Structure 1
Amino acid sequence: MKQKRIGFIAMSGVRAQNAELLAAGLTLPGFIERSKVIASLPSLSLLTLAGLTPPSFHIEYHEIADLRALGSLPTELDLVALTSLSAQIYDAYAVADHYRALGIPVVMGGLHVTSLPDEALEHATAIVIGEGEPLWPRLLADFDRGSLQRIYRSEEHGAFDLREAPMPRFDLLDLDKYNRITVQTSRGCPHKCEFCASSILLTPRYKLKPIEKVIAEIQAIKRLWPRPFIEFADDNNFVRRDHYKSLLRALAREKVRWFTEADLRVAEDDDLLGLMRDSGCQQVLVGLESPRRASLDGLETAANWKLRRHDRYLAAIERIQSKGVTVNGCFILGLDGDTPEVFDEVLRFVRQSGLYEVQVTFLTPFPGTPLYHRLKAEGRILRDRAWDLCTLFDINLQPRQMSVAELQSGFMGLVKELYSAEETATRRRNFKRRYRTQRRQTPRSELATAA
């Protein structure tokens, strides 16, 4: 019997629609660097499903950008699997429509599909709602016997246990095309930020992947790429500190460099910070969101967690960076508490804090989020279903305390200042000067004796 062929196609390459920002982008190295990082990340979700695919199927992995460069999509396929961010979803639908017109069934999943299943069903043969791992084996069995269902829901199987997580098929990648590889150590987040379109839409609780599985994945990557740069694809690392301290001790023996996302609680534990440094952490991305209290109020819907830590922002940044781990501080512009003065406040805070890296974005109403539902009810979404504006760098809402034009002009003035060659060089220089001083004064963590 002929082996059935499955094509996993990753919709890579998010591009902002903001014409003014794109025109200025040539002189904004911060934006250019981050866009290169985003574009160079493979789809961990597709690689994970590939790891669950039996050897009876022939599988191949493609980046849509590579296929477009070739000028055609592969057609010798029996099934196509697509996942996409909201900003790329219309491109993904076009790909799905193309294959369905050829009689090739298409399966779609991910956050956007989970949030808007009826929309996705207009283009896909079958959709996966929620976590894909518990559904993929059954979906493949249905496909193999010619009885593919229209909808597969993970909630019917219960929450997926990351102890059962498969080894992603990193071997399918052409590693020369990537500057980092993603590994997931956890799923979910204890915070419920109104704007957040992350795995909290897929799973109701925070859960951890066993340490031995994480290390096995890193070792598998190292067999293909001896000195990789790892990006941990987690919404919030270090929530359970004892677990992560054990992971970091194991990670230190792998001699890799890595990047992750976390909240400010990471600054509360000097031992954890030392382990992060000694195990190869280069940078931690922290969602600060705003330097002003009024803008933080109500942002985290469960307990106003970020507002309650506002007074600790500066001290937390200093403690993390004193260990030699850089902080990428993220700010959102267009929050309900923002007035036209917020742009100058962000600039002053960045300079005062000594942040090594900065990311500024527009408040974005992603589908499925509490923010989207609230703004839609308030009539403040400018173009409904304009998912191609969900890039973080395009405006698709009416701010509460300023005009759209004021938000756009204030944002442009801020990014031109933040990412100027002088400002960027000053941040780098200040960090290096502080780090050299602190490194001479700070003993190495307990890792030295534990290793």
Structure 2
Amino acid sequence: MRLGLIAMSGVRAQNQGLMQLGLTLPGFVERSKVIASLPSLALLTLAGLTPSDINVRYLEVADLAGLDELPGDFDAVAISSYSAQIKDAYKLADRYRREGTKVILGGLHVTACPQEAALHADAIALGEAEPVWPQVIEDLKNAGLKPVYDARSGSFDLQHAPMPAFELLDIDRYNRLTVQTQRGCPLSCDFCASSIRISPKFKTKPVEKVIAEIRRIKTIWPKPFIEFADDNTFANKAHAKRLAKALAGENIRWFTETDVSVADDPDLLAMLRDAGCSQLLIGLEATDKTVLDGIEQKANWKAKRADTYLEAVHRIQEHGITVNGCFVLGLDGQTEESFDDVTRFVRESGLYDVQVTVQTPFPGTPLYDRLKSEGRLIRANAWETCTLFDVNVRPDHMTVDELEDRFQNLVATLYTDDFTQWRRGAFRRQIRMANKPA
């Protein structure tokens, strides 16, 4: 049997003004290029679970435009996509089905919108894929594929995580590879559309499994750059220290996402630095605690931490670890002045990197449900706007035009060569001051 694992990988903003501006501001498109260049860890994991008697091929499709022929002749395909490109994924799935190829769809979007996805697939996988994939393969072999494979009632134990099939990759195409160290998140932010929507239970992967995956990568890329594909890598501080201790012996550079509490533990920061941590991406979201009020739905954690943001950035960067601070514009309670607040915070903190996005209602999130019930979505089911840069929400304290215009002006301010160089210089000055003899 010939099985194709196809990742739709070409997310692009619909806002043409922003896209044109981005062409002249390399800093703005730098992170988006990184994301687009990441292989699908989910599909590589399924490949690792697939028996050796199946002929497996991994492919990436960036754009359907000009795709005259189907990318590969398969008996079955499993297609993975971001919400922003799901409609293209459906078109590709429909084309395969017309040729007689069986199509399996799964992932975050499919789990959030199963009835929609089922119209374009022979089978859909809901929730975590690992528990159901062996049965999918068995049913494919026996020509008995079922319409739905639902893993949402259980929780997959990462102790049994398979080795992803990194060997399927053309390694020269990538500037980093991903490894997962945990799944879910102990926080519950209303906008979050990451693995918490597939695995509500926060869980960590055994450190020895993480290291084994890194060593497997090193067999095809001796000195890799690793991105940990986690929602919140260091939420569990005990696991974080075990992981950092193990990483210190691997001689790699790596990047990950976590929350601001990582700054509370100087010992952990020193361990991360010594373990090769290059950068931490931290979702700050906003500088105003009144805006943050209620975004984290369990304990209002984000609002409670807002006053610590400046000190936290300084403390992390003084340890030689750069911070990529992420902000969301268009949140409820924000005004046109909020854009200036972001610029001011970046200057005061000396953030090495900054990422700005607009409030995005992803399917399956409490944010989407709330905004839909309030009648504030500009277009329902406009998944192509789920790019983080396109506005599909009516803000409560400004117009859509004001949000788009001010966002574009903010981008033009933050990502000029001069400001980017200033941020790099500010980080170096922090390091010099931190190492200055008392």
**TM-score class, shorter:** over 0.9
Cα 1:108–1:397, aligned 2, differ >3 Å: closer, same or farther? Answer: same
Task: Give 1:433 shift.
Answer: 1.7
- Give yes or no for contact 2:248–2:275 (8 Å, CA) kept in 1: yes
Match of 1:146 in 2: 143
Distance 1:159 1:349 in 2: 40
Q: Given residue 261 of structure 2, which amino acid in structure 1 is its aligned partner?
A: R
Cα 1:428–1:202, aligned 2, differ >3 Å: closer, same or farther? Answer: same
> Is structure 2 residue 227 aligned with structure 1 residue 231?
yes
160, 175, 178: which is aligned to 1:182? 178
Match of 2:360 in 1: 364
> Is structure 2 residue 268 aligned with structure 1 residue 275?
no
- Give yes or no for contact 2:4–2:72 (8 Å, CA) kept in 1: no
Match of 2:384 in 1: 388
> Is structure 2 residue 367 aligned with structure 1 residue 375?
no
Q: Given residue 281 of structure 1, which amino acid in structure 2 is its aligned partner?
A: C
Match of 1:399 in 2: 395
Task: Give 1:18 shift.
Answer: 0.5
Match of 1:80 in 2: 77
Distance 2:18 2:64 in 1: 27
Distance 1:72 1:87 in 2: 23
Unpaired runs of 5+ residues, structure 1, are 443-451
37, 40, 44: which is aligned to 2:34? 37
Cα 1:186–1:339, aligned 2, differ >3 Å: closer, same or farther? Answer: same
47, 51, 63: which is aligned to 2:48? 51
Match of 2:238 in 1: 242
> Is structure 2 residue 255 aligned with structure 1 residue 255?
no
Deviations 1:256-295 (A, max 9, x none): 0000000011000011000110010000000000011221
Match of 2:23 in 1: 26
> Is structure 2 residue 313 aligned with structure 1 residue 317?
yes
Q: Given residue 144 of structure 1, which amino acid in structure 2 is its aligned partner?
A: K
Cα 1:440–1:216, aligned 2, differ >3 Å: closer, same or farther? Answer: farther
> Is structure 2 residue 405 aligned with structure 1 residue 409?
yes
Match of 1:90 in 2: 87
410, 417, 420: which is aligned to 1:424? 420
Distance 1:301 1:65 in 2: 35
Task: Give 1:67 shift.
Answer: 8.8
Task: Give 1:438 shift.
Answer: 1.8
Match of 1:109 in 2: 106
- Give yes or no for contact 2:64–2:88 (8 Å, CA) kept in 1: no
Distance 2:105 2:283 in 1: 30
Unpaired runs of 5+ residues, structure 2, are none
Distance 1:219 1:160 in 2: 23
> Is structure 2 residue 172 aligned with structure 1 residue 155?
no
- Give yes or no for contact 2:325–2:351 (8 Å, CA) kept in 1: yes
Cα 1:97–1:70, aligned 2, differ >3 Å: closer, same or farther? Answer: closer
- Equivalent runs, 1:283-298 vs 2, <5 Å: 283-298=279-294
Match of 2:4 in 1: 7
Distance 2:63 2:408 in 1: 32
Distance 1:224 1:398 in 2: 48
- Give yes or no for contact 1:105–1:125 (8 Å, CA) kept in 2: yes
Deviations 1:150-204 (A, max 9, x none): 0000034x21000000000000000100000000000000111010001111112
Distance 1:433 1:340 in 2: 31
> Is structure 2 residue 307 aligned with structure 1 residue 307?
no
Distance 2:67 2:90 in 1: 20
Distance 1:323 1:92 in 2: 43
Cα 1:441–1:279, aligned 2, differ >3 Å: closer, same or farther? Answer: farther
189, 192, 196: which is aligned to 1:196? 192
Moved more, 9-18 or 61-70: 61-70
Task: Give 1:74 shift.
Answer: 3.5
With the length of structure 2 as denominator, give the TM-score of the two structures: 0.98
Cα 1:256–1:69, aligned 2, differ >3 Å: closer, same or farther? Answer: farther
Q: Secondary structure at the match of 1:197?
A: coil
- Give yes or no for contact 1:323–1:439 (8 Å, CA) kept in 2: no
Task: Give 1:75 shift.
Answer: 4.3
Deviations 1:390-431 (A, max 9, x none): 000000000001000110111111110011111111000111
Match of 2:124 in 1: 127
Q: Secondary structure at the match of 2:403?
A: helix
Paired residues, what number? 438
Q: Secondary structure at the match of 1:27?
A: coil
Cα 1:402–1:8, aligned 2, differ >3 Å: closer, same or farther? Answer: same
Q: Secondary structure at the match of 1:140?
A: helix
Runs of 4+ in 1 over 4 A off after TM superposition: 66-71
Distance 2:195 2:29 in 1: 26
Q: Given residue 46 of structure 1, which amino acid in structure 2 is its aligned partner?
A: L
Q: Secondary structure at the match of 1:287?
A: strand
- Give yes or no for contact 1:13–1:38 (8 Å, CA) kept in 2: no
Match of 1:137 in 2: 134
The percent identity for this pair of structures is: 59
Task: Give 1:243 shift.
Answer: 1.5
Q: Secondary structure at the match of 1:155?
A: coil
Task: Give 1:138 shift.
Answer: 0.6
